[in-house]
Amino acid sequence: MNEKTINIARKFKGRLISIDLIHVRLKNGRKARREIVRHPGAVAALCRRPDGKFVFVRQFRKPLERNILEIVAGTREPGESPAVCARREILEETGYKAVLLRRLGSIYSAPGFCDERIEIYFAEVIPSVIKGRADHDEDISVFCFDARKIEIMLASGKIIDAKTLAAWTLYKHRRGNK
């Protein structure tokens, strides 16, 4: 192990995240401190409709004080598998239903200071007859774009969410779909 834990102190315990302050011993014998955000883990899904358009959501993000465009994503509930979580979030956030779900990989959103791992899926979706219900504190709009429009948005800096950009990379390379 490269950084041996000397001690851990929990500095904040929230409903979503917690903070641990860890003192470590480095390989060179020195000590260092690490401030680490603990997160329960999340899933994200790049959803494609039968007409080839991809489903994006636009929502207000309080940390940024603005609305941004992202793929579907959500935090895993206790004991929930990533695939079940992905299907639930797709329905809740977009009103579409996943008829095919393929895992593209796992990513870490901010490995320098946070343990959040996001399982990334590709989903083929169709409109659902059963409407999902977003969390009471979410206000989400759905937008659909074809691949050409997405690549124009990428090139012009319109997509700023790291997991959305990462998912696009994984989708293009995992499917040999460049």
Binding test (CB under 8 A) with a copy of itself, winner from 50, 111, 126, 133: 111
Beta-ladder partners of 26: 3
Region from 35-43, 77-85, 88-96, 125-133 binding a copy of itself, contact rule CB under 8 A: 35-43
Q: Which is nearer to a copy of itself, 24 or 144 (CB)?
A: 24
Six token digits for residue 104: 């593209």
AA letter at 138 = E
Six token digits for residue 30: 């020195």
Least Cα distance to 125 among 55, 43, 42 occurs for 55
Binding test (CB under 8 A) with a copy of itself, winner from 24, 84, 144, 147: 24
Distances (CA, A) of 66 to 59, 69, 95, 156: 8, 10, 23, 18
Q: What is the rounded CA–CA span in Å between residue 171 and residue 163?
A: 12
Binding mask 67-86 for a copy of itself (x = CB under 8 A): xx-x--x-x-----------
Binding test (CB under 8 A) with a copy of itself, winner from 89, 93, 116, 119: 116
Q: What is the rounded CA–CA span in Å between residue 151 and residue 45?
A: 18
Residues forming the site for a copy of itself (CB under 8 A): 1-3, 11-12, 14-17, 19, 21-22, 24, 26-28, 30, 32-37, 39, 42, 60-65, 67-68, 70, 73, 75, 105-116, 118, 136-137, 139, 151, 154-155, 157, 160-163, 165-166, 168-170, 173-174, 176, 178
